Structure formats: structure tokens, C-alpha cells
Amino acid sequence: MSNQKRLVLYTSPTGNGRQVPILLEELKLIYGPAIDYEIVLIDRKKGTQKEPWFLALNPNGKIPTLVDRAQENFAVFESSAILLYLVQTFDVDRRLSFDPATHPKDYSEMMQWLFYVHGGLAIAYGQSVHFTELEEEVPYAKNRWLTELERHFGVLESRLINRKYLSGPGDGTYSVADIKAMVWAGPKMLSRLGVGPIDKWPNVKAWLARIEERPGISAAEKALQ
């Protein structure tokens, strides 16, 4: 690989695009130089993600997409699949994940919340943005998705009663499930839609504040600039 970084991440500074850099920076803080990656920012407005070279990596033509040069340029697309690939490959001490062999219940909980966000909260947010910012007013669709988004915040609020994190024993352990969820649940995301304030969900607010104190979050934001 000469002087090339092992990992190449094609992404953008969006909710979906932020979660992988956050995980990479969290892994870097734990494992050091073994987490060797570079970011290639994709200009979605120019349609770069639909160009043939990108579609060869990701047939769905969306960010993020990861290439592992150490594995014959193996490409991984879909954000949750990338998160899981990274913890399976690099998180040998299970600091941000759980071992399915030794802690099957904790692993299952993590996977449940990961997929809940992937197929629920993230979808509700994306559709809410679409119909809120759509030039043509479609009141039913807009209200339907904003209501669904608030419902998902209620689900998180309920889960976080007497818990610090979404999965794991006791009050929980910080994992990729929390990284997946927090990028969609921040106050900035709510203010964009006129939903909130975050004070409506005090457990979610405290959980977000806890995560945002982690140095990996600020490091990821810098990496995306």
C-alpha cells in the first residue's frame, strides 16, 4: 500500500455521512495508528455519487462508502454495514461493540437498536426534511413524518430512562448503536424541522450531552471540514 492510508471513506458532512468518521475517530483514540484512514468528500449536489467510478464501489450511489485497501480494495456500502465492518475488523477489545459469542444478549441489543435507527429514526428524519423543504406543500405527508419523527424521539426517551446508553447491561455501554442514533437526534437536526426543543425529551438531551463530550466527536467534525 506504500504510503497510502489503509481505509478510504467517501462521505459528506450530513447525518448519514458523519457516523462513520465518528466511529473511526473513536477507534483511533483506542487503538492508535492502526486506524489509518483518509476522507474523500463527495459533492452530492454535483452528482459525484452517481458517476460510474463511484457506482462501481456502491451500486446504490449514496454516501458513505468505505474501501479497505488491505483487503484487495474491498468496498462496503450502507452506513450500518460500514459500522459493523469496522468494529468486526478493528475493535478487537470490544470497547465499542459486543462479542456475539461471549455476550450474545448484549450483542443482540446493540444490533436491535442499530437497525431500529437505520430503518426507523433515520427514515423518519429524512422524509421529514424532504416534505418540510419541498417547494410544493404536501400537508398530509409533512405532518405524517414529523409526527413519526416525534414518536421515535419518544421511543429513545423511554429507552433511556435510568440508562446512559442504548445497549448493554446495567445502565448501558457506549457502542456503535449510540453513534448511529446520535447523528439523527441532535438539537440542530430538530431545529432544522421546527421540532422540539430537545428539552421535551430530557433523557435524550442528557444522553446527547454525554456523547458530545467525547473527543472523538469533535475530531470527526474536524476531519469532515
Domains along the chain with CATH numbers:
7-96+215-223 (3.40.30.10), 104-212 (1.20.1050.10)
pLDDT band at 186 (very low <50, low <70, confident <90, very high): confident
Position 196 pLDDT exceeds 80: no
- Average the pLDDT over 25-53 and give the result: 95
Q: Give residue 201's pLDDT.
A: 95
Convert the pLDDT of each residue in 135-182 to its tens digit: 999 999 999 999 999 999 999 999 999 999 999 999 999 999 999 999
User: Could you identify the residue written with the cell 429524512?
Assistant: 126
pLDDT averaged over the chain?
A: 95
Q: What's the pTM?
A: 0.95
Q: Give residue 197's pLDDT.
A: 84
User: Could you identify the residue written with the cell 475517530?
Assistant: 25
55: closest CA among 10, 110, 25?
A: 10
Pairing verdict, β 7-11 and 37-41: parallel
Neighbours of 171 (CB within 10 A): 10
What sign has the CA pseudo-torsion 150, 154, 156, 161? Answer: positive
Position 28 pLDDT exceeds 60: yes
Q: Give residue 2's pLDDT.
A: 58
Position 190 pLDDT exceeds 90: no
